[in-house]
Structures are given as structure tokens and as C-alpha cells.
Amino acid sequence: MIDKYGQPNEFTNSLLVWHNNGPWERTIVHRDGVAHNFPRKHSDVLQQFIKYRVPVDKFDDLAAFDGSLYPDRTRGELSAKSDREEMNVLALNLADDIIRGKKTVEQARQYYDRAATLSLTGKSDPYISRMNFRSGTLPTADEDKQLKHKEIGNGGASEMEKEPGSENQ
């Protein structure tokens, strides 16, 4: 990463961090990798973030596709963590396909496996060479909403409003 992006913006004993490097919002190289067997055995050490709003109803699909994809709803980011940058690009391109309904989870896993195998033989694939979508062009953060409370006695303590019919819960 240093050869490609220069010196990191931040570093600790266990992390190197770059901000706004290439297509990435942030890149982190972790000293301590996480063992991962998909599509083949490797250690997840390179985590890269993009601005991307993942619909909440797609979180489970992304987790089923690849356990090393991390949607962050509040920040409006999606990150991939693998052993190589091109595998992160591949994972994020396929995540976008899943979110847009272009591929099922199983189709994306099969594609990932084939493209990763091609990559190991020195061949390229359009899902590895570049992002196939634009990220961060619109606001992506979701600050969520506060729950409504109604005030009750005893020094202003509050109780969450109950939904109708929830008195017995």
C-alpha cells in the first residue's frame, strides 16, 4: 500500500490508515489478520471503505454473500476486508449487484470464486479491475431517528411511548 498510496496518514502498532486514497474513503492495513476461507484460505488484513448507503433490508444478503463486508448505516459506508485490493474491489462490485437485484447471493458467490481464480492466474475481470458503480455522489449517512418519549413524574424521567396493544408485553 505504501508503494501505491504513499505514507499512511495515521499509524499505530497494529494499524496503518490512509484517508481519501484513490477510490477509497479510507484504507486500513491491520497487523493482525482474520482467517477467512472464502473463496479460498487467506487472511483478511486489508480493509477499504467507500461511501455507500446500504438499504437495511440488504444487510443479511451481504452477510450471506461475504462475511468480510461491513455496512455502516450511520456513517453511510460499506467496507470490504480481504488480503488484496482487487479482491475488495470484486467484493464491493458484487455487493452492489446484490443490492440492485442484478445477482442473487449464490450467483455473486459463484462469480466471486471464478473471478478470484482468474486473478490468481494473472488474468483480469471487469469486476476486479475497477469499481463498476459510482460511490459517494449523494449523501449516504443515516443519522437515524430518536424514539418518541412521553414525560412522566419523578424528576423528568421518561417512558417510551408504547405501541397500541403493547400493554401486556
Is 166 among the domain residues? no
Is 66 among the domain residues? yes
Q: 130 — alpha (psi -120 to 50), left (phi > 0) or beta?
A: beta
In tens, the pLDDT along 19-41 reads 999 999 999 999 999 998 888 89
Structural domain boundaries, residue 103: 2-159
**pLDDT top residue among 138 and 159:** 138
Closest CA to 104 of 61, 53, 56, 40: 61
- For residues 83 and 42, the answer to whether their CB atoms sit within 8 Å is yes
Number of domains in the chain: 1
pLDDT at 77: 96
Is 126 among the domain residues? yes
Is 164 among the domain residues? no
- For residues 18 and 24, the answer to whether their CB atoms sit within 8 Å is yes
- For residues 6 and 41, the answer to whether their CB atoms sit within 8 Å is no
Is 165 among the domain residues? no
76: helix, strand or coil = coil
Q: What secondary structure does DSSP assign to 32-45, as a single string?
A: EEEEE-SSSSEEEE
Separation of alpha carbons 50 and 169, rounded Å: 41
Is 168 among the domain residues? no
In tens, the pLDDT along 54-78 reads 999 999 999 999 999 999 999 999 9
Is 132 among the domain residues? yes
**pTM value?**
0.82
Is 129 among the domain residues? yes
Q: Give 105's Cβ-side CA count (13 Å radius).
A: 11
pLDDT band at 139 (very low <50, low <70, confident <90, very high): confident
The grid cell for 13 is 502498532
pLDDT at 165: 56
